[in-house]
């Protein structure tokens, strides 16, 4: 065990034995309007489209699976690498097994980048920015969000929130849990940069195409 691991283990042990403390109330940065689900879906679609992202609303997991296979055929995606999570497994069912890989525990970044598309599962969707929040418990999950040139995000309708403050009650317990590992990654459309001559270029620092499938 390295010195870093030993220090982190001592910190985790100490935190695990601390008495539970009541979390302070969340400051209301943006007021909650509590819009209807349909209104939030429409806002999410519009916000994601504004940053060159795509959204498809499907009625069932089976329809999401068919839509993923359709997108793969249209785009000519050769191989897909997916998070090993329940919704991803269901949605990926229509892909040919020989073209699907479940992300390994310790992949080489260069190998992940060779896949045509990464399939990830969102824990939350934020309507006001068209963002998807992905809980990445391992480095491989995190890399999967960035390295393939296309990224397909799947989520159920009940994971859609008005904005980040409205989602905080779902996020806070996971952040406070000492057993939680990894980090949250927020995806808001394709990677964008305008560093050179102020010309907008997609896909420089991450996926060039982002598609969100909302089930429900």
User: What DSSP assignment string belongs to 38-53?
Assistant: HHHHHHHHHHHHHTT-
Residue 28: inside a domain: no
Beta-carbon neighbour count of residue 34 at 10 Å? 9
Measured distance CA(124)–CA(157) in Å, rounded: 9
pLDDT (tens, 9 = 90+) of the chain, 216 residues, equals 788 888 888 887 776 766 656 666 656 777 888 899 999 999 999 999 999 999 999 999 999 999 999 999 999 999 999 999 999 999 999 999 999 999 988 888 898 999 999 999 999 999 999 999 999 989 999 999 999 999 999 999 999 999 999 998 888 888 888 788 888 999 999 977 766 666 666 656 679 999 999 999
Residue 185: inside a domain: yes
Residue 8: inside a domain: no
Residue 36: inside a domain: no
Angstrom distances, CA of residue 197 to CA of 129, 187, 192, 201, 204: 26, 25, 14, 10, 15
Residue 23: inside a domain: no
Residue 147: inside a domain: yes
Domain of 82, CATH number, reads 3.40.50.10420
Measured distance CA(196)–CA(6) in Å, rounded: 44
Residue 43: inside a domain: no
Residue 31: inside a domain: no
> How many structural domains are present in the chain?
1
Q: What is the pTM of this model?
A: 0.83
Which domain range does residue 132 map to? 52-215
């Amino acid at each position: 065990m390295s010195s870093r691991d030993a220090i982190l283990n001592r910190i985790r042990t100490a935190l695990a034995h601390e008495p539970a403390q009541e979390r302070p109330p969340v400051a209301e940065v943006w007021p909650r309007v509590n819009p209807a689900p349909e209104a939030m879906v429409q806002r999410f679609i519009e916000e994601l489209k504004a940053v060159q992202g795509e959204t498809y609303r499907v009625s069932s997991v089976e329809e999401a699976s068919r839509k993923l296979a359709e997108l793969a055929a249209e785009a000519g995606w050769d191989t897909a690498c997916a998070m090993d999570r329940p919704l991803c497994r269901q949605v990926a069912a229509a892909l040919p097994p020989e073209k699907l890989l479940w992300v390994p525990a310790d992949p080489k970044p260069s190998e992940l980048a060779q896949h045509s598309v990464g399939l990830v599962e969102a824990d939350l969707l934020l309507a006001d920015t068209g963002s998807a929040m992905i809980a990445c418990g391992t480095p491989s999950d995190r890399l999967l969000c960035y390295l393939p040139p296309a990224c397909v995000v799947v989520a159920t309708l009940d994971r859609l929130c008005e904005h980040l403050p409205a989602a905080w009650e779902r996020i806070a317990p996971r952040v406070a849990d000492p057993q939680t590992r990894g980090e949250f990654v927020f995806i808001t459309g394709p990677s964008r940069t305008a560093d050179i001559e102020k010309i907008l270029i997609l896909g420089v620092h991450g996926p060039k195409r982002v598609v969100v499938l909302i089930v429900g």
